[in-house]
Structure 1
Amino acid sequence: MTRHYFGTDGIRGTVGQAPITPDFVLRLAHAVGRVLKKAETRPSVLIGKDTRISGYMLESALESGFNSAGVDVVLLGPLPTPGVAYLTRAQRASLGVVISASHNAYPDNGIKFFSAHGTKLSDDWELAVEAALEEAPVWADSAQLGKARRLNDAPGRYIEFCKSTFANDLTLRGLKLVVDGAHGAAYQVAPNVFHELGADVISIGCAPDGLNINKDVGATHPQALIDAVRAHGADYGIALDGDADRLQLVDASGRLFNGDELLYLMAMERIARGEKLAGVVGTLMTNKAVEMALRAQGMELVRARVGDRYVLEELEKRRWLLGGEGSGHLLALDRHTTGDGIVSALQVLQACQRSGKKVGELLADLALFPQTLINVRLVGDQDWKANQGLAAEIRRCEAELGDAGRVLIRASGTEPLLRVMVEARDAAQADACARRLVAAVEAGAVA
C-alpha cells in the first residue's frame, strides 16, 4: 500500500489546502484513535504545538477527533517537538502529537507523531492509519467519549529534562549567550534552560505573534544571530528552528558552525572522556572531511539517506549513539530519543566547559571540504539515470578527485530537480566538476 498523506516526517502542507484543513485533521485524529484502541481500551495522547496562528484551529480539530474515538487528550500548549517526545515517555502516554511545520514559514503547518517511547513511528503504523482513514468513522457514544485536560507545567518539566542532560559537575557561569528561538516553540523554554545553568542570556526571536515564526531569525536565518553575537560581545550564539529540533551555533567572531562540525565535536568529546564509539551516522550530504577525520580516530561514518528519520533508523539498527545532518539535526540517543536543538547545544557547551577550550579550538584540526551544490530542473519525464553522457562525466570527475573528493547526484523528493553536489579539497575543482556534470544533465534533456 502506498502512503497518500504521510511524508518523511508526518503530514505537512499549506493551511487551508488539503490535507491541512480542520475537517481532515479531525478525521486523521479519529483514525489514529481507532488504531490506538485496537491495542488499548483507554488510550491517552499528548498534543503540543509551535507558535503558528493555525495551531489553535488544528489543536481543536485534533482534540475533537481523538475524543470522538474515545481517546483522552492532554494539551501541552506551545512546546518544542523534542519536548513532546520527552513528555510522551515521561507521562506514559500512548502517543505524542506535534502540530508544526518545523522551519517553514507560518502559512504552512503539519502533524507528526511519536510513539509511547518518544520515538518516530514505523511505516507500518502510518499505513494502518491511512487504511483507517479510508473507513467510515465509528463515533463513540457519550459515555465512551474521551476527555481533555491541560498540563500547565509542561514547559517547566521539559526545562528540567534539558538541564539533566548537562553534566552535574559543570555550569555555564561566565558565558554570555545569545539564544534565538525563531519566534517558535522554544521561545519560553530555551532562554530559561541556559540561564538556569548559569549563563548570561540575551534572547532574540522569542516574541511570537502567530505570524512571525522563522521570519528572518532562527536556524534557517543565522545572520540575525551572527549580528546579535557581535553586537553584545557574546561568547556564543545558539539558534533553533521553529520546532527547536535543529541547532546552529556561532562563536564570538561570528563564525557559523554547521551540523557536520558539531557532530564531529560531540564524537570527539565522548572519546576524550574515555567512551568507545564504533562510529557515527551521517547522511549522503555529510562532508567527506568529517568521514576522513573520524576514520583517523578509528571510527566509521555510515551514511544514511537525507533526513533525520533515516539517521535515527540507522543508529537504532547499529545500536550506535551519535548521528546528524549538516542542517543541524543532531541525535545523541543516550540523552534523548529524538533530535533536540537545546540538548545538542548543551552537549557542545559541555565539551567546551570540560576542556576549557572554545569550539573553534576543538575543531582546529577539522577543515571541511568545499562543496558545490547546483540544482538542475528536470524537463518533462527526463530520465537522468539513463543519460550516458552524464554517467561518463561522473566517471571522469570521480577519477580526477580520487580519494580527495566525491560526487553525489540525487533527485529531489518534492520537486522536479536534480541535486548535483561535488566536494573536493580545492573549491575551484569542486565548482568546475559540478558545472561539467550540470552541462551533461542539460545536454541529456535536449538529446
Structure 2
Amino acid sequence: MGKLFGTDGIRGKANDLLSPELVYKIARCAGYYFTEKESNPKILIGKDTRISGDMIEAALVLGFTSVGVDVVKLGVVTTPAVAYLTKNTDAAAGVMISASHNPMEDNGIKFFSKEGFKLPDEVEEEIEELYFSNTNLPYPTGAGVGRVWDDLTLKNRYLEYLKTTVKNSFQGIKLALDCANGGAYYLAPELFASLGAEVQAINNHPDGTNINLNCGSTHPEKLAEFVKENGLDLGFAFDGDADRLIAVDKYGEIIDGDYILAICGKYLKEIGRLPQDVVVGTVMANLGFDLACQREGLKPIKTKVGDRYVLEEMLKGGYALGGEQSGHIIFLEYSTTGDGLLTAIQLLDTLISTKQTLDQAKGILQKLPQVLVNVKVQDKEKYSSNGEIAKAISEVEEILGSEGRVLVRPSGTENLIRVMIEGKDLEEIKNYAQKIAGVIEKELA
C-alpha cells in the first residue's frame, strides 16, 4: 500500500503531486470514514492565502458532499484556529489547507479530530486503505447529498477565546507584526489592537503568490529592521499558517523558540503552572537552553525534531509547555497545537507581568555558537551503522566534553545527513563540523 499522510498531513506541489483528483478522492475516503462513525457529520474547512487554496477547497467540498458530509467553509484563517474551532463546535473533523512556511507553489491538507488534535495514525491508515483499495464508496442522492455553507464569523470566536488567555492590557505597547502575507494577515492585527497595543503591520497584503516570500518567521530580518527604524518595543513574525512565532526585541535581535520556552517556562514555574517544572524541547535546542534551564530549576525533556513528537511527550507526561527552536510553541493549557498568535500574546503577557522588556528577558539564555552542515548522500539510512562516521563523531565529542555537543541525524525529507555542532569557539566547531562532514561524504556519498 502507498503512503499519503506524512508527519503533518498531505503536502505537495499544488496541481501536480497534490492534484484536485487526489484531493477529491481523499475527501471521499475521509468523508466516508466519518459517516461510518456518526450520522450527518460536519467538517470545517479553513485555508491560508495561497492561490491554489480555492482549487483545493473546491475539490475537498466536492469529495465530502458526494458522500453525504456537510461542509462549513471558514475562509482564510490560521491552522490553530481550525484546530480550536473543530474542538469547540459540533464538527466531526476539521481540515486546514496550507503548506505552512513552504513556498507558495506548495500546498497541503491537514486533518484535525473533533478533539482538536491531528488525526491518530490508525485513522489516517484507515483512510489511506480506502484510498488505495479503490473501494466503491456510495454516492447518496436526494436529501442524502451534503450541504455547504460559509461561516466567516467563527474565526471571531477563536479571537475572543485567545483574549481570555491573558490577564494584562497591552495598552502603551508599540509593536510590529509580520503576517507573512498568510493566514494571520488580518487576525493578528485585530487581536493585538483589541488588547490595546499600538500595532504596525507589515506583509499583510496577500495576493495569492507572496505568502512567506522573504518575510515571516523564516525571514525575520526585515521585521527586525522595521522595529529598529520605527522605535518600536518589539515585533512578532508569523509563518504562512501562523502556527509559529519568531520575535524580535527593540534592538532588532531575533528571539527564537529556545528563548520563548525559557522565558515563559520560568514564569509559569514561578506562578505554579508548570507541571513538574518540565519544559519539552527537541534535540535541536541550543545547549544554552539546557544551561538556562539548569540555572532556573527547569527540567528540559528532549524529543526528536518535529512538533508531533513534542506534543506526544507533553500528552504522555502531562506537561504544559513545549516547542521547537523554529518557534512552534505549544501551550497545552490553552491549545491542542502550536499557535503563533497565542504564543505572541502569552510572551507579551509574561513580559508585562514580570515588568521586563523583551531585550531584558532574553538575558535568561546565552546561546552557544552553532554550526550546521548538510551532506548529500546516496543512502542516509547507512550512516548509523558506519564505524568510521561513529569514530569521527566520538573523537569530536571527547574533545568538546561538557562544553559542547555533536548532533548528527538524517534529514526527514531529503537524502541529507545533518551535522550540527555547538561549542564556545565558532571557528573551532566549524572545523570539527567539516571534519565529520568529510568522513560522511567519503563513506556515503
Give the TM-score, by structure 1 length: 0.96
Closer, same or farther: CA 106–403 of 1 in aligned 2, 3 Å: same
Q: What does 1:260-279 align with in structure 2 at a 5 Å threshold? A: 260-278=258-276, 279=278
Structure 1 stretches lacking a partner, 5+ long:
none
Q: Tell me if the contact between 2:217 and 2:239 (Cα under 8 Å) persists in the aligned partners.
A: yes
How far apart, CA to CA, are the structure 1 residues paired with 2:2 and 2:300?
Answer: 31
Residue 352 in structure 1 maps to residue 351 in structure 2: yes
2:160 maps to 160
Q: What does 1:212-227 align with in structure 2 at a 5 Å threshold? A: 212-227=210-225
Output the amino acid matched with 2:74. L
Task: Give 1:293 shift.
Answer: 2.1
* 3-state SS in 2 of match to 1:383: helix
Task: Give 1:276 shift.
Answer: 4.3
How far apart, CA to CA, are the structure 1 residues paired with 2:31 and 2:437?
Answer: 48
Task: Give 1:241 shift.
Answer: 0.3
Q: Tell me if the contact between 1:277 and 1:299 (Cα under 8 Å) persists in the aligned partners.
A: no
Residue 66 in structure 1 maps to residue 64 in structure 2: yes
Output the amino acid matched with 2:105. P
How far apart, CA to CA, are the structure 1 residues paired with 2:359 and 2:225?
Answer: 18
CA RMSD of aligned residues (A): 1.4
2:88 maps to 90
1:200 maps to 198
How far apart, CA to CA, are the structure 2 residues paired with 1:373 and 1:143?
Answer: 58
1:41 maps to 39
Q: What does 1:95-134 align with in structure 2 at a 5 Å threshold? A: 95-134=93-132
* 3-state SS in 1 of match to 2:409: strand
Give the TM-score, by structure 2 length: 0.96
How far apart, CA to CA, are the structure 1 residues paired with 2:416 and 2:379?
Answer: 11
Task: Give 1:381 shift.
Answer: 7.3
Structure 2 stretches lacking a partner, 5+ long:
none
Closer, same or farther: CA 243–106 of 1 in aligned 2, 3 Å: same
How far apart, CA to CA, are the structure 2 residues paired with 1:382 and 1:71?
Answer: 42
What are the Cα deviations for residues 333-366 of structure 1, in whole angstroms up to 9, with x where unaligned?
0111110001001111011111111122123131
Task: Give 1:155 shift.
Answer: 2.8
What are the Cα deviations for residues 51-91 of structure 1, in whole angstroms up to 9, with x where unaligned?
01111111111111111111111100000000011111121
How far apart, CA to CA, are the structure 1 residues paired with 2:2 and 2:156?
Answer: 37
Q: Tell me if the contact between 1:155 and 1:188 (Cα under 8 Å) persists in the aligned partners.
A: no
Q: Tell me if the contact between 2:175 and 2:234 (Cα under 8 Å) persists in the aligned partners.
A: yes
Match of 2:171 among 156, 173, 179: 173
Closer, same or farther: CA 6–360 of 1 in aligned 2, 3 Å: same
Q: What does 1:336-375 align with in structure 2 at a 5 Å threshold? A: 336-375=335-374
Closer, same or farther: CA 99–340 of 1 in aligned 2, 3 Å: same
* 3-state SS in 1 of match to 2:260: helix
What are the Cα deviations for residues 130-169 of structure 1, in whole angstroms up to 9, with x where unaligned?
01112233212222111111112133222212211211xx
What are the Cα deviations for residues 378-403 of structure 1, in whole angstroms up to 9, with x where unaligned?
03678222332211111111111112
319-328 vs 351-360, greater mean Cα deviation: 351-360
What are the Cα deviations for residues 271-317 of structure 1, in whole angstroms up to 9, with x where unaligned?
22233432111111011221232233333211111111111111101
Task: Give 1:3 shift.
Answer: 5.7
Output the amino acid matched with 2:84. Y
2:140 maps to 140
* 3-state SS in 2 of match to 1:59: helix
Q: Tell me if the contact between 2:380 and 2:417 (Cα under 8 Å) persists in the aligned partners.
A: no
125-134 vs 293-302, greater mean Cα deviation: 293-302
1:11 maps to 10
* 3-state SS in 1 of match to 2:275: coil
Closer, same or farther: CA 174–137 of 1 in aligned 2, 3 Å: same
What are the Cα deviations for residues 33-68 of structure 1, in whole angstroms up to 9, with x where unaligned?
111122101111100000011111111111111111
275-284 vs 36-45, greater mean Cα deviation: 275-284
2:428 maps to 429
Output the amino acid matched with 1:370. P
Task: Give 1:261 shift.
Answer: 0.8
Output the amino acid matched with 2:326. S
Closer, same or farther: CA 381–291 of 1 in aligned 2, 3 Å: closer
1:316 maps to 315
How far apart, CA to CA, are the structure 1 residues paired with 2:297 and 2:392?
Answer: 33
Q: Tell me if the contact between 2:25 and 2:131 (Cα under 8 Å) persists in the aligned partners.
A: yes
How far apart, CA to CA, are the structure 2 residues paired with 1:50 and 1:366?
Answer: 34
* 3-state SS in 1 of match to 2:218: coil
Identity %: 42
